[in-house]
Amino acid sequence: MTPAPIFDAPVSALRRALDGKEISSVELASLFLDRIGTFDPGLNAFITVDRERALAEARAADARIARNETRPLTGIPLAYKDVFCTEGMLTTCASRMLSNFVSPYDAHVVSLLKQAGAVNLGKTNMDECAMGSSSETSYYGPVNNPWEPGHVAGGSSGGSAAAVAARLVPIATGSDTGGSVRQPAAFCGITGIKPTYGLVSRYGMIAYASSLDQGGAFGASAQDCALLLSAMTGFDPRDSTSLDRPVEDYAAAIEAPAPDAARPLAGLTIGVPGEFFPEGMGGEIRAAVEDALAQYRALGASVRKVDLPNARLAIPVCYVIAMAEASSNLSRFDGVRYGHRAAEYADLADMYCKSRSEGFGAEVQRRILAGTFVLSHGYYDAYYLQAQKLRRLIAEDFRRAFAECDLIAGPTSPVTAWALGAMNDDPVQMYLADIYTTPVNLAGLPGLSHPCGFDAAGLPIGLQLIGNYFSEARLLTATHRFQQATGWHLRRPTPATAERAHP
């Protein structure tokens, strides 16, 4: 058997190779940068790649390794979704509005990962301003799915998910407002986790909807996600919603030996909401998720039915709240202090309007208009206030469900990756695909997606696990046990596919 190539290795193996001086961080960064050079033209997963900067960070990491000052991610290459501000580096949010924005500061997440010694290879492509479920609305063009070019990678963190799936980078950050980490993880066949709201600082993460936005982590496995998430969390006084609690070592937590090795998930109760398996749901997705649940049972977990009666309203509720918060958050882009300013204008009002309409794409402008409407006089109570009341009912559903189970499971998405452009004529159709992920953001709970199969076209299917507040270790442990017993997370798009994407 030939050993797995280094680009395909888990982060723990890269750590051992770096510490054992089998490979240097500079060599590792070069290897992944070369893969980006070869395969990214067909994927469009990156907006910015800064080779010199990456190699300088890798040299610094090698010096730290030589001094034995290593931390788990020292010298490990990673990529940031282009929603995270990186000092001295272009930070666009995939919008023309910020296409000239070189951030003067680092997001909190970026400074934590810098301190950890991780090597920044670049900034990944996404839906403009994180508004979308397919990474097609980017000013820099759509991201392709590495499993089938011509299909979407999911969104809004599609670039990060595609890059990890194609092994252009071992791990990457994302952000999740209504499913933007979990859904692209499912579409690209990798693992992605959105933690409890408040665990990852939003400082320097360009805001879409402040009460829903949360940073998250992508990796090939729960183990890789655990390493990245542990390094991203921690209290930050600069984010007023950051939670002041001790940082957990998820990577250590998932390695804790189970009392019963044959049934490592004995004692775990998984709740399955009937609402997540409606009539008419794709047979392949249903079958893959049911097979995964059977595997969880085989590992010792018990599975029982739970009810989330209000979850069906999560899409309108989440979109009303997100669009309202977006219309307010995006008012900062005015062409005065930074970002795009129109070349010609009659007066100040005209300058605002032209700069914003030139700077934002159609979907972003639609969401700003809809958000302005739901906040406007005479409509606020019927839309925004009603959405906030329903938000409480949805959160209460989860509270009741978690009295009866430890984790909730179901499909991450009712569909697999669709063809590029297939949903362009009807944005609402795309919103509907967020049915299983949006309730989690409304409640502020942690959620994870891991691969559990493929459809007939060879496109990945994801299983979503939802946990109670602060149950990230339990989510990652359950996934890790599943992945120790199965091989879905080891499947990769074949190089031929990637090469086809890059003739």
Smallest distance, Å, CB 364 to another protein?
10
What b-and-e string marks burial along 199-222, b requiring 16 or more CB atoms within 10 Å of the CB? bbbbbbbbbbbbbbbbbbbbbbbb
Q: Which of 134, 138, 180, 327 is catalytic?
A: 180
Q: Which of 81, 123, 194, 354 is catalytic?
A: 81
Smallest distance, Å, CB 152 to another protein?
20
3-state secondary structure of 144: strand
355 is catalytic: no
Distances (CA, A) of 409 to 77, 312, 401, 439, 474: 31, 16, 12, 13, 13
Nearer to another protein, 156 or 221 (CB): 156
Smallest distance, Å, CB 385 to another protein?
6
Smallest distance, Å, CB 359 to another protein?
10
Nearer to another protein, 70 or 211 (CB): 211
Q: How far is CA 286 from the centre of its chain?
A: 23
CA distance 183 to 458: 17
**Residues of the shown chain interacting with another protein in the complex, contacts defined by CB under 8 A:** 101-102, 104, 197-198, 211, 237, 240-241, 243, 310, 313, 315-317, 319-320, 327, 331, 334-338, 341, 345-354, 356-357, 360, 365-366, 368-370, 372-374, 376, 382-383, 385-393, 395, 426-428, 431-432, 442-445
Picking from 36, 118, 31, the residue whose alpha carbon sits closest to that of residue 78 is 118
3-state secondary structure of 304: strand
Secondary structure letter of residue 493 according to DSSP? -
331 is catalytic: no
Nearer to another protein, 27 or 334 (CB): 334
Q: How far is CA 136 from the centre of its chain?
A: 16
Residue 47 and residue 159 in contact, taking contact as beta carbons nearer than 8 Å: yes
* Strand (E) or helix (H) holding 478: helix 472-485
Single-letter residue type at 475:
L
Structure tokens at 493: 């798009």
Structure tokens at 177: 């407002």
Nearer to another protein, 104 or 421 (CB): 104
Single-letter residue type at 307:
D
CA distance 475 to 363: 33
Smallest distance, Å, CB 161 to another protein?
24
Count of CA atoms in the C-beta half-sphere (13 A) of 487: 2
Smallest distance, Å, CB 85 to another protein?
12
Count of CA atoms in the C-beta half-sphere (13 A) of 103: 21
Residue 85 and residue 110 in contact, taking contact as beta carbons nearer than 8 Å: yes
Structure tokens at 383: 């839309």
Distances (CA, A) of 461 to 22, 91, 288, 292: 36, 31, 7, 11
Nearer to another protein, 415 or 443 (CB): 443
Nearer to another protein, 12 or 241 (CB): 241
CA distance 107 to 263: 42
Q: Which of 156, 160, 201, 242 is catalytic?
A: 156
Smallest distance, Å, CB 451 to another protein?
27
Smallest distance, Å, CB 27 to another protein?
35
In order, the DSSP letters of 2-61 are PPPPGGGS-HHHHHHHHHTTSS-HHHHHHHHHHHHHHHHHHH--EEEE-HHHHHHHHHHH
CB contact set of 311 (below 8 Å; sequence gap of 6+): 273, 275, 276, 394, 397, 435, 439
Nearer to another protein, 21 or 245 (CB): 245
Nearer to another protein, 277 or 338 (CB): 338
21 is catalytic: no
**Catalytic residue numbers?**
81, 156, 180
